[in-house]
Every structure is written in C-alpha cells, then in structure tokens.
Amino acid sequence: MGIFQITAAFLRLGKFIRLVPYPVMLGFVNGLAIVIFLAQMSQFQITDLSGNKQWMEGQTLLLMLFLVIITMVVIWGVPKITTIIPAPLAGIIFVAVLVISLDIDVPRVGDLASIKGGLPTFHIPSVPLNTDTLLIILPYALILATIGLIESLLTLNLVGDITGKIGGASQECVAQGIANMVTGFFSGMGGCAMIGQSMINVKSGGRTRISGITASLFLLLFIVIGSSLIEQIPLAALVGVMFMVVIGTFAWQSILVIKRIPRTDVVVMLIVTAITVIYDLAIAVICGVIVSALAYAWNNAIRITGNVAIDDNGNTIYYIDGPLFFGSIQGFSEIFNIESDTDIVVVDFINSRVVDQSALQAIEDLAVKYKKRNKKLQLRHLSTDCHSLLRKAGQLVVDADDDPSYGLAVDYGVKPGVFGKTH
C-alpha cells in the first residue's frame, strides 16, 4: 500500500485531484456529513438482556438528548467567550464533569470497549515472500492505496479552502506512503486522512500539521496511561461533538443554489451524495468525475458549428466554431456539403481547436471524401503543432500570418492511412 502511494507521488498523480469538479466536492462533503450523522444513531441504542439492540425510550432517551444538546450549546457558545480552549474539548469536559459529579446513569465510552493498550513492538511480518503472496496482497493494496489517496487529497483540498492554504499533493502522497510502510512493521493498519477528524481539528483552531501531531501524541498518551479517564466520558458528549461537525461540514449553501446552477451539476451532486452514503467515498468520487466528464464532453460536442461563405476566388470557405475532438467529430462531418461544394474548399479553424487523434482522423476522412470527387481540401488558421502535422497529410494547410500559437494536446502524425483506417 505504501509503495503504491509513494509511486503515485513520483508519477505526480496527485495533481489529477484538481480534475474533481466542485459539484463532486459538494456531494462528497454532504454525503460525508450524512454518513457521520447516521453513524451516531447507534449511540441511541442499548443492548437488552438477550444481547439485541433496542432504541432508547422514555427517560433514558430524554436524558441522552438533553446531554447532547448541552454539549452542542457549549460548543456553540465557548468561541463567543474565549478561544483559549477548543470548543469541542470544553463541551466534552463540561458534560463529563456534570455526569460524573451528579452520578448520572448514561452510557459512557468504557461501556463500548476498553481503550487501554500499550506501545507496539517492531516485527517483520511472517509471510512467505513469494509470487503467490504478492498476487494475493497486490489487488487489495492497490485498492486501499487508491481509496486512501483519494480521501486524503480531497480532505487536503477541503481543509485548504477553509484555511486558505494550498497543500502539496505529491508531498501528501509520499508522507502517507512512508507512514503506511512503517506502520506495517508495528502491526498497524493502513491509514489515511479522515475528513471528520480533520474538520474537528480545523473548527477547533488547528491550522498547521503540529495540531495533528499533537492530537496523535495525546491519543497515544490516553491509550497508554489515561484510558481510565477517557472511559468515563459520556457518549452523549461525543455525539454532541459529532453533530456539530455534521452541521459545520454539510454544505448548506448547496441547497440554496440548486435552482441557480445547471441541472447537470445538481444531478452530479446528488449522485455523489447518494453513493457516498450507500457505498463508498472513492466510488462516489470516481462516478461523479465520470458523469461530469461525460456531461462536459457532450456540452462541447454540440457547440461545434460552421458558417459557409464564398471568397473572392470563388472557393468555398467553412468557418468552424467550437472545439474539434472525439465528441464533436460527428457534428463536424455533418457541416459539409461535399457534393455541391466548389473544387477548392477551405476550412478555417480560427475560432476552433484541433484537440486529439479523433479530430485528426475526422479531418483526414474529410480530405479523402473530397479527393474522391476530385476536389481539394485546405485548412487555414491552425495551431503551430497541428499546422506541421497536417502538412504531412498532403498539402492540406494554407499558411497565414495570424495562425494561433496554442499547443496541440497530443502529438499525432496525420498522413493518410496512418491511423489504420481504409476508405
């Protein structure tokens, strides 16, 4: 897992997190908030004598809700009075002192399980170092590494938006990869950045990585020597903290702007939210990016148009408007009237851009169609790269002093037949 993440850093794959659209981010945040909220519902259940889970009722439920509300009120009010103590910590301490001093019978952390533990010991995993072991581990390691990086980089972007700081994606990949490699020698599990804990950290005033290191050291301290104190904390206090995280995490403005943004973005946001809640964060983000990419490609595909004119020499001029790529080649081909065009046809790309191999293939196909009818096709106002490439296709290019200078996305040769297509 760690090796995959370090490899991703060296390949600079972290930069592709920039391709995640804003509606996907909103859906991810909203879905995460809902997941956190639903996860707290189990704390309103108790185990009966037969070992079955039942919802709290009557006075027990009211007392639990009262303590949750008290915690939320303290977290809301403390920042208005002082910033010396983090609001979530103040809420937990206040409710814990209240419950312990009054001996209120409510579920506590120790009722779930003991958190007492010791320091891990170094050891080398005792597994056969052979191809069979590698084949078993490899797919799971790749999946976990991918999920961990996606969630971590999305968390990095989200925290960066809140704090106004830009994090390094490759640096994050390396750090996480090294950490996961080291933890494997101490019987640890693979990990990644967690959006819930990160939001608590940021909302509590944490702005640097020192806050995360401090939190880790205190957590280790509690596990090793302070478990008895932590086990006395009422679950209601923790639920109250998480409810405030939910309120702070959920993008409430996304509800207000639903009528103002494109329907496609609304659909993407709802899809990501639903998949995050039902399945998994990584699957939700991947699905959101795919749907957004398809929507973007379609919107650009239908934008290509062409205006026809006759120049002073009696030649047909087609002025293309819109990008020429795999999604728009069908519309591009339908612009031309090959049978009625003059012997010389000029395609002007001053308001267009040739993007990919599909575009080059479409131009080549068009040239062949005109050639079969003893007509000549010329291209004008191409980018510098595409200008030189298409010259190889048989003198299709008309030089112009005002050719655009932008670069071609991918370098492909365009000699007739180079793409393996017969006519």
pTM of the model: 0.70
Question: What pLDDT digit, counting tens, does each position of 29-41 carry?
Answer: 888 889 889 989 9
Helices (H) and strands (E) in the chain, counts: 17, 7
Answer for the pair 179, 209: CB distance below 8 angstroms, yes or no: no
SS3 347: strand
Q: Which amino acid is located at 297 in the chain?
A: A
Q: Which domains does the chain have, with CATH numbers?
A: 2-253 (no CATH), 302-398 (3.30.750.24)
CA–CA gap between residue 206 and residue 208 (Å, rounded)? 6
Average pLDDT in the 227-231 region? 84
CA atoms within 13 A on the CB side of 397: 20
Q: Return phi, psi of residue 352, to 5°.
A: -135, 175
Task: Kindly list the distances between the CA atom of residue 263 and the CA atoms of 21, 160, 269, 273, 316, in Å, as whole numbers in the listed order.
Answer: 14, 27, 10, 15, 40
Which tens digit of pLDDT belongs to each residue from 255-274? 888 888 888 888 999 999 99
pLDDT tens per residue, range 39-80:
899 888 887 777 778 888 888 889 999 999 999 999 999 888
What CA–CA distance (Å, rounded) separates 23 from 293? Answer: 12
**pLDDT above 70 coverage of the chain, percent:** 89
Does the CA dihedral 3-6-12-16 come out positive or negative?
positive
